Amino acid sequence: MRGFLFSLKSDKSNYYICKTFDKTMQYKRILLKLSGEALMGDRQYGIDPKRLKEYAQEIKEVVDRGIEVAIVIGGGNIFRGVAGASQGMDRVQGDHMGMLATCINGLALQSALEDTGVYTRLQTAIEIKEIAEPYIKRRAIRHLEKGRVVIFGAGTGNPYFTTDTAAVLRAIEINADAILKGTRVDGIYDVDPEKNKNAVKFETITFKDVIEKGLKVMDMTAFTLSEENNLPIIVFDMNTKGNLLKLVSGEQIGTIVDNE
Ligand code: GTP
């Protein structure tokens, strides 16, 4: 019996405890979109272990409040070097490499989350089943209900689609309350805040206004998919400690894009 209990606790992937949902929270189920570049920290490419650990800690704080968290992560930190070295490469070939890059980041994030005591499952849109589970919508939802963080790798599994589109698609499929796009800027501005110090930040803005004003939030495929399915997008600064928890608690963090 002792041996059995020990084996349960020592297996980071299979043992889980459902945290009770903190009813003061604004969102019950979120999809967090992280860019691959964000994982670089101060590096030129690859993964900064310190940044990875910080992100895992931020995510743990919301999981501990009983919030169901799914994650889509980009691959730009790994793929960009390859892209530079292979100018003129076939687009489909390049996109396949990008999909593999998101799986590498997914594995790294999974490991970092499990080190902080968060239970996770990695599901991929292309089959690499010796490494990760295949994407199955119903199974992903079941994992979320059991308090596991589900990381979706390999984008949509199709070339010509970005990881932003993958994030919106998965968010709609799993019925997420919102998509939280973690970036290094703290929201959407009328002009580029890095170039113009008089830039004004929007607290909320409609999908229609974003298009009319020509602001850049996501690529059009991702953006219109979100608009058509009434899925709010919240753009916020993921690099400021505590922001993710504040956001899901209902504090005014970042910019909310919604239909009204
Ligand atoms: P529950 O049945 O809800 O407890 O979910 P579970 O994910 O624990 O069930 P399962 O027995 O299917 O999975 C056990 C472990 O195997 C988990 O760590 C899964 O991520 C992993 N796993 C399941 N299917 C696959 C797969 O196709 N490929 C890989 N690499 N791992 C898998």
- Asked whether residue 142 is marked as a ligand-binding residue, the answer is no
Between the CA of 151 and the centroid of ligand 1 the distance, in Å, is 13
- Residue 40 belongs to a domain: yes
In this structure, what token pair is assigned to residue 11? 């297996």
| 215 within some domain | yes
Q: Is 119 within any annotated ligand binding site?
A: no
User: pLDDT value at position 1?
Assistant: 40
Q: Is 95 domain-assigned?
A: yes
Q: Smallest Cα–Cα separation from 249: which of 72, 116, 65? A: 65
Residues in Cβ contact with 129 at an 8 Å cutoff, skipping those fewer than 6 apart? none
Number of residues in the chain: 260
Give a yes or no: residue 1 inside a domain.
no
CB of 15 closer than 6 angstroms to any ligand 1 atom: no
In a domain, residue 166? The reply is: yes
CA distances in angstroms from 241 to 76, 120, 237, listed in the order given: 23, 22, 9
Number of helical (H) and strand (E) elements in the chain, helices listed first: 9, 9
Residue 6 lies in a domain: no
The closest of 29, 67, 59, 55 to 171, measured between CA atoms, is 29
Predicted confidence at residue 5, as pLDDT, reads 42
Dihedral over Cα of 49, 72, 248, 147: its sign: negative
Query: How many A from CA of 111 to the centre of ligand 1?
Result: 15
Atom number of ligand 1 nearest to Cα 142: 3
| Strand pairing category for 178-183 and 29-34 | parallel
Cα-to-centroid distance, 143 and ligand 1 (Å): 10
Q: Known binder of ligand: residue 45? A: no
How many structural domains compose the chain?
1
pLDDT at residue 61 in the model: 97
Of 7, 12, 121, best ligand 1 pocket probe by most atoms within 8 Å of the beta carbon: 121
Is there a domain that residue 100 lies in? Answer: yes
Strands (E), 82-124: 120-124
Domain span including residue 62: 21-258
Considering the chain, what is the average pLDDT of its residues?
91
39 assigned to some structural domain: yes
Is 48 assigned to a binding site?
no
Each residue's pLDDT expressed in tens, for the chain with a length of 260 residues: 444 444 344 455 555 567 889 888 899 999 999 999 999 998 999 999 999 999 999 999 999 999 999 999 999 999 865 565 567 888 899 999 999 999 999 999 999 999 999 999 999 999 999 999 999 999 999 999 999 999 999 999 999 999 999 999 999 999 999 999 999 899 999 998 889 999 999 999 999 999 999 999 999 999 999 999 999 999 999 999 999 999 999 999 999 999 98
Contact 254, 53 (CB under 8 A): no
pLDDT score at 109: 98
CATH code of 113's domain: 3.40.1160.10
pLDDT (tens digit, 9 = 90+) per residue, 21-39?
A: 988 889 999 999 999 999 9
